[in-house]
């Protein structure tokens, strides 16, 4: 196929999850537990002349991937992914949010991980194909959606360390409720002092599986200390706040202004992050991307200058942060309630995504 040939062969499942079972799943999907009936796939190969191209676009029944044990992804972690969601609107149409930003970020990640770039039309069509086939899997509760996980893996069987010449791009989908389970409530965060997420020149700005693998030891520490997520700092820059294990962070100040850590090459450029910056400005708030240190977080909360802190991401949507735990020290109040600005931005964002609030920025793309 050529780069712009977006015809997907249809190999539809003959063993879809029965409607009753699917309804039971959709009643309480949680996050990342269940998967729909199909997967969209496009493969990439490099020919003898060294020319690479995307080919064999297809929709297949969801199921295990047959990989050669020598596949590069299994040894050198050459993998990238995206996180997106599909929302059903009141008229039955299905939409996704800022797909162009995800397509662009996938390709920035591809460049960093020496994977081939995927044409945006192919990316969009893969989402359309999968969501059209599995549209009965979209849950309808507050804050619920169909989570889409596009990803790209190096499939070539070769143990030399060089970019793989065979790659597979796939999309899977998973009905999703609140990432942290249950109702939206403030989560406590653990400050990672033993581990860093990313360093200058590293892969921190890419959405690469390896970044998340390297966050897990810190995440285990967080859970052992009663916290839900881990905060990474730049210890070589005055303990500047970077991001959480899987989400960006925002601070709301007493005067209504908002701050989020500036993109420094080590922080993921979250699509929700950039949307929150815009929504904050739409509310008339001054929103600044700058360095904010752990000390400023501590003194700001203690003096009442910082009134709310929240996390954001596609999976997390907007989640209020309760206490920050740094060793035996706690910053913030126990049993904190979700902040007013946090919840107002959350409901504005969800409103746009679900069609209840006007999409003045043209962020939505119709899938079905």
Q: How far is the CB of 313 from ligand COI (least distance, A)?
A: 3
Q: How far is the CB of 52 from ligand COI (least distance, A)?
A: 27
Reference 274, options 282, 266, 114; nearest CA is: 282
Q: Which of residues 58 and 197 has its CB atom nearest to ligand COI in the complex? A: 197
Which whole-number Å values give the CA distances from 145 to 39, 126, 319, 348, in the listed order? 17, 18, 16, 16
- Output the CA angle 180-183-189, nearest 5 degrees: 40
Interatomic CA distance for residues 4 and 274, integer angstroms: 29
Please tell me whether residue 209 binds ligand COI under the rule CB under 6 A: no
Q: Which of residues 244 and 285 has its CB atom nearest to ligand COI in the complex? A: 244
- Output the CA angle 144-132-358, nearest 5 degrees: 50
Size of the site for ligand COI (CB under 6 A): 7
Q: Which of residues 209 and 339 has its CB atom nearest to ligand COI in the complex? A: 209
Task: Report the phi/psi class of residue 50: left, alpha or beta, with left for phi > 0 and alpha for psi in -120 to 50.
Answer: left
DSSP state for residue 135 in the 8-state scheme: G
Q: How many residues are recorded in the chain?
A: 368
Q: Which of residues 60 and 100 has its CB atom nearest to ligand COI in the complex? A: 100
Q: Which of residues 215 and 348 has its CB atom nearest to ligand COI in the complex? A: 215
Q: Which of residues 16 and 207 has its CB atom nearest to ligand COI in the complex? A: 207
Reference 274, options 248, 256, 245, 309; nearest CA is: 248
Q: Which of residues 57 and 244 has its CB atom nearest to ligand COI in the complex? A: 244
Please tell me whether residue 131 binds ligand COI under the rule CB under 6 A: no
Q: Which of residues 212 and 330 has its CB atom nearest to ligand COI in the complex? A: 212
Write each residue from 301 to 320 as x if it is in contact with ligand COI (CB under 6 A), else as -, in one continuous string: ------------xxxx----
- Output the CA angle 344-136-175, nearest 5 degrees: 50
Whole-angstrom Cα Rg for the chain: 21
Question: Which runs of E-coded beta strand occur in the chain?
Answer: 9-10, 38-46, 52-61, 79-81, 84-88, 94-97, 145-154, 166-176, 187-191, 229-234, 240-244, 248-253, 258-261, 287-290, 306-313, 317-326, 329-331, 364-366
Please tell me whether residue 83 binds ligand COI under the rule CB under 6 A: yes
Nearest residue to ligand COI by CB is 83
Q: How far is the CB of 233 from ligand COI (least distance, A)?
A: 19
Q: Is the dihedral of CA 99, 147, 287, 265 positive or negative?
A: negative
Q: Which of residues 192 and 239 has its CB atom nearest to ligand COI in the complex? A: 192
Please tell me whether residue 246 binds ligand COI under the rule CB under 6 A: yes
Please tell me whether residue 212 binds ligand COI under the rule CB under 6 A: yes
Burial 26-49 (b: 16+ CB within 10 A, else e): beebbbeebbbbbbbbbbbbbeee
Binding site for ligand COI (CB under 6 A): 83, 212, 246, 313-316
């Amino acid at each position: 196929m050529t780069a712009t040939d977006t015809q997907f062969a249809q190999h539809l499942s003959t063993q879809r999850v029965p409607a009753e079972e699917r309804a039971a799943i959709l009643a309480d999907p949680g996050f990342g537990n269940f998967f729909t009936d199909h997967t969209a796939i496009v493969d990439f190969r490099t020919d003898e002349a060294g020319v690479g191209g995307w080919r064999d676009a297809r929709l297949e029944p969801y199921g295990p991937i047959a990989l050669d044990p020598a596949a590069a992804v299994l040894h050198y972690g050459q993998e990238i992914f995206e996180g997106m969601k599909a929302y059903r609107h009141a008229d039955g149409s299905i939409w996704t949010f800022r797909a162009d930003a995800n397509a662009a970020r996938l390709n920035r990640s591809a460049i960093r991980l020496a994977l081939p770039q995927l044409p945006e039309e192919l990316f969009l069509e893969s989402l359309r194909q999968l969501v059209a086939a599995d549209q009965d899997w979209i849950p309808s509760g507050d804050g619920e959606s169909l989570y889409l996980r596009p990803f790209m893996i190096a499939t070539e069987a070769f143990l030399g360390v060089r970019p793989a010449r065979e790659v597979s791009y796939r999309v899977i989908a998973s009905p999703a409720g609140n990432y942290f389970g249950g109702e939206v409530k403030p989560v406590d965060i653990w400050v990672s002092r033993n581990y860093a997420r990313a360093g200058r020149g590293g892969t921190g700005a890419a959405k690469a599986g390896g970044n998340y693998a390297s966050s897990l030891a810190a995440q285990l520490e967080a859970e052992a200390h009663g916290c839900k997520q881990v905060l990474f700092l730049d210890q070589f820059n005055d303990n500047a706040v970077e991001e959480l294990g899987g989400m960006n962070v925002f601070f709301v100040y007493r005067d209504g202004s908002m701050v989020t850590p500036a993109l420094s090459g080590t922080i993921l450029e979250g699509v929700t992050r950039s949307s929150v910056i815009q929504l904050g400005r739409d509310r008339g708030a001054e929103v600044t991307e700058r360095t904010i240190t752990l000390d400023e977080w501590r003194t700001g909360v203690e003096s009442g200058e910082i009134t709310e802190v929240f996390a954001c991401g596609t999976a997390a949507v907007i989640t209020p942060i309760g206490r920050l735990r740094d060793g035996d020290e706690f910053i913030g109040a126990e049993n904190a309630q979700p902040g007013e600005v946090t919840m107002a931005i959350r409901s504005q964002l969800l409103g746009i995504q679900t069609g209840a609030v006007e999409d003045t920025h043209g962020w939505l793309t119709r899938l079905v």
